[in-house]
Amino acid sequence: MSRRKKQQRINTTLCYIEKDGKYLMLLRNKKENDLNEGKWIGIGGKFEKDETPDECLIREVREETGITLTKYEQRGVIGFVSDTWNDETMYLYTATAYDGEINYNCDEGELRWIDIDEVMNLNLWEGDRLFLKRLVEGDRDIRMTLHYEGDTLKKVWCSQSGICGGCFHNGLTYDEQHSLKEEKLKELLMPVMEEDSIFEGVLDSPLHEGYKNKMEYSFGDAVKDGPLTLGMHRKKSFYAVVTCDDCRLVNDDNNKVVRATVDYFDSLHIPYVNKSTHEGYLRHLLVRRSFANGGLLIDLVTADYNPTEEMKAAEGFKDEASLLNDWVEILKGLNLEGHIDGILHTRNNSLADAVIDEGTEVLFGRDYLEEELLGLKFKVTPFSFFQTNTKGAEVLYSKVRDYVGDTSGMTVYDLYSGTGTIAQLVAAVADKVYGVEIITEAVEAAKENAKMNGLNNCEFIAGDVLEVIGSLEKKPDMIILDPPRDGLHPKMLPIIAGYGVEHIVYVACKPESFVRDMEFFKARGYRVVKAAGVDQFPYTKHVEAVVLLSKAL
């Protein structure tokens, strides 16, 4: 059989069953001059007349091993459960059909028990993918996915590779991602740059994995009426949520919190808030982590607790206080790399599918983290804005500081200032810095941060930039913009351009929005002096841009 014979993908699976910590697998015997020598195989053989792939699999397994499989479909995956060993555990492999034969005909197949570590020594052809999924205890998902390239075995990004909508470039090396992002950003910026404008490329994130300091997880299910899940939305789905408890964008402490939380609430059959009926209790789990000291801030977001009569009558029913207290004790008992600074509970009864604070109580510890960035200390609260890649933010703000240059004796506006990071970096050499931010909590944190860092020439104002900017006491000599993803409000453009400052530094989390806004600035005499990208989000398609604009006075 040719290695690269035309393939027909089929929705059938090969089975591997766990018993006493061992895994039942089928491996090809050694055979000289065999292209598949030592390769992974499964139960195989020719299809009988009018036999479906699933029927073929069940028959072949029974003939080869005496094990009877029962087909079922759950969470969008066709699976098979053995009637042996009390349907204890089952592993799945997505199979391929070659012109009437299941991939890797195994007349010489060998059946034996092996340790899971032995999987790491298997070899497959380039492009083959192995999906191992444990189906036990309500389909609690601890699936492991492996990817093979040539004779080298590599772990695929996570158990939800290709399913979760979070990552985009998890099939590429970091260098490949970097090249794509740099090429795309340069192509995007070129129309608004001059011949002598300098494009400095895309700066790498110091961390490629485990870089995120904040995650907002959603409660839900992967299929209608399926088991409770906690994680990210399935790709291209508004309703389905897949459990992300082995995500590689975060520190593993996050994953442990997710795993413990979903297991706890699922064991008690606590419902999530249904997007259609708006009934239920669980909504989101917010986890923030300090890179300065490993502290975690964990916030459970729920609707009001209105248990049904059926829930009240169930064995082990708990009132809300007991429910939350026991959850806190479980989290406190986790074996973490870092530690827990605070566990919170936020109430949210809004109809919007978003994390909205309608009242937050501290269940354990405190309601903030302490973070450090470029020598400055910051108090980060649950809902205040802070760059989600701490180490990448240091690269980003270093570039901003480079573009800002010498601000001695100047008045600087830092608009959309968040917790005041940029304002405080500039304040060390500026005469006066005004930071304007619409989120009151972020402004209060910015004031505390400035005080903590001994900076008394920063003034932070809470309010809509459009409404506040006209009331500032001093006019700016320089303006720094770090607007939301949609860019500047159309009414803000003439106000900012109207100040006529010589330099504007624009930080764009969505460069497309900057390009649109730049068309306005360009018509008002501003030009791009230089621009750089910063990869704040490895393994996603996002990249931030920092641009220095100049106007001839």
Closest CA to 284 of 342, 235, 352: 352
The strands making up 22-28's β-sheet, listed across from edge to edge, are 18-19, 22-28, 109-114
For residue 89 the two structure tokens come to 């555990």
How many Å apart are CA 75 and CA 221, to the nearest integer?
9
- Residue 498: which residues within 8 A CB-CB, separation 6 or more? none
Contact 539/157 with Cβ under 8 angstroms? yes
SS3 content of the chain, % helix, strand, coil (to 5): 25, 30, 45
Tokens of 274: 């249904």
Contact in structure between 211 and 391 (CB atoms under 8 Å): yes
- Strands 77-82 and 69-74 come out as antiparallel
Contact in structure between 185 and 202 (CB atoms under 8 Å):
yes
Tell me the three state secondary structure of residue 114. strand
Q: Is 322 exposed, middle or buried (0-12, 13-18, 19+ CB in 10 A)?
A: exposed
The span from the CA of 134 to the CA of 139, in Å, is 7
Burial of 510 (0-12, 13-18, 19+ CB in 10 A): middle
DSSP 35: T
Per the residue annotation, which of 56, 167, 244, 509 is the catalytic one? 509
Identify which of 287, 229, 247 has the alpha carbon closest to the alpha carbon of residue 166: 247
- Check if the beta carbon of residue 54 is closer than 8 Å to that of residue 110: no
DSSP letter at 389? B
* Known active-site residue 158: no
- CA dihedral 236→238→239→244, nearest 10 degrees, is 60
Task: Give Cα separations from 21 to 18, 24, 111, 438 (angstroms).
Answer: 6, 10, 16, 55
Strand blocks (E) in 420-508: 432-437, 458-462, 478-481, 503-508
CB atoms within 10 A of CB 362: 12
Known catalytic residues are 509
